[in-house]
Structure 1
Amino acid sequence: MSSNRATFQRFHEAVNSGDAELIATTIDEVVAPDLIFHAPVPTELPGPQALKRVWAVLLRGFPDIRVEVEDVIAEGDRIVSRNTVTGTQQGEFRGLPPTGRSVTYNEIFIFRFAGGRIAEIWGVVDLLTQLRQLGAVPS
């Protein structure tokens, strides 16, 4: 289990690097090639590619994006992470031109590990709060 925690920590450090290449390389190293990704992501792509696309889109929209882990619960082959995400929209995101607005929203992710790699991900992201803060939907 501690190796799962170390893998989770490595993934988390990569996504907070702001470096798309490091994130993609880390995904290749810590995510199973047959990753099952339960989230509203591009379904035409296999799991690791979909995860890379998600981070490319996030980094384009929010170059300063930061995921702060508030709670981590590890049990068996799963790790649950409750996060606060912050960033400033400096690029196009979900069809919105750059607004310069800051966002702070919450998310919860469950990671299932197999063979030392992330094999399955479930995610719940507070997109409504994010879109309200960007002015895309009324408050």
Structure 2
Amino acid sequence: MAHSNLEIFKSIIDRGFSRGDLSVADEVCAERLLEHQYLTNTDLPGPDILKSQIENARRSINNLKLTLNASVETEDTVWARCKATGFDPRSGKPVTIDVMDICRFAGGKLVEHWGVPDRFALLDQIGALPPPPK
């Protein structure tokens, strides 16, 4: 039974990012993934790019939980707004950030991704940014 692109995306955020199941990348990624997210190593096969992103996210936020808040699905693309929660591994402080994703699919596989995690919110919550001017 074919899965919708939104169901595939949900498996990436639930199994991959929230549970750390790297096997989801082998199931859902094309061998050639065009990746547009800042600081992502793109010199890897598609599934390995996603595995690297999952591992990096789970190292950056302990007990990472990614929750889908809103999405739009068209013929080949899913636009999504998610909430990432967990704890900063250095300070132990709780963190919550928004993540925007645009995923393009072909033949039931992820073939292109743009990801925008709110890194400024993360830096602010862990005290790495100066306080705003008064």
TM-score (ref. length: structure 2): 0.85
Q: State the distance in 2 between where 1:62 and 1:12 align.
A: 14
1:96-111 alignment runs, 5 A limit: 98-111=90-103
State the superposition RMSD in angstroms.
1.8
| SS at structure 1 position matched to 2:85 | strand
Aligned partner (choices 32, 35, 42) of residue 34 of structure 1: 32
Percent identity between the two aligned chains: 32
In the TM superposition, what are the counterparts of 1:40-119 in structure 2 within 5 Å? 40=38, 41-90=40-89, 98-119=90-111
More displaced stretch, 46-55 vs 119-128: 46-55
Which residues of structure 1 form unaligned runs of 5+? Answer: 91-97
Asked if 1:134 is matched to 2:133, the reply is no
Code of the aligned partner of 2:59:
R
* 1:57 Cα deviation from its structure 2 partner: 1.9
Query: Does residue 1:7 correspond to 2:5, yes or no?
Result: no
The 8 Å contact of residues 18 and 59 in structure 1, kept in 2 or not, is answered as no
Q: CA offset at residue 75 of structure 1?
A: 1.0
CA–CA separation in structure 1 for the residues paired with 2:116 and 2:18: 22
Question: If the length of structure 1 is used for normalisation, what is the TM-score?
Answer: 0.83
Change in CA separation of 1:36 and 1:67 when aligned onto 2, cut-off 3 Å:
same
The count of aligned residue pairs is 129
Contact 1:111 1:121 in 2 (8 A): yes
How far apart are the structure 2 equivalents of 1:18 and 1:78? 24
Counterpart amino acid of residue 39 in structure 1: Q
SS for the counterpart of 1:65 is: strand
Partners of 1:17 and 1:122 lie apart in 2 by 19
**How far 1:13 sits from its partner (Å)?**
1.8
Name the amino acid aligned to 1:32: A
1:62, distance to aligned residue in structure 2 (A) = 2.2
Q: Is the 8 A contact 1:18 1:63 kept in 2?
A: no
Equivalent residue for 1:120, pick from 112, 115, 119: 112
What letter is aligned with 1:123?
G
Contact 2:17 2:58 in 1 (8 A): no
SS at match of 1:39: coil
3-state SS of paired residue (2:30): strand
Q: Give the conservation status (yes or no) of the 8 Å contact 2:16–2:25.
A: no
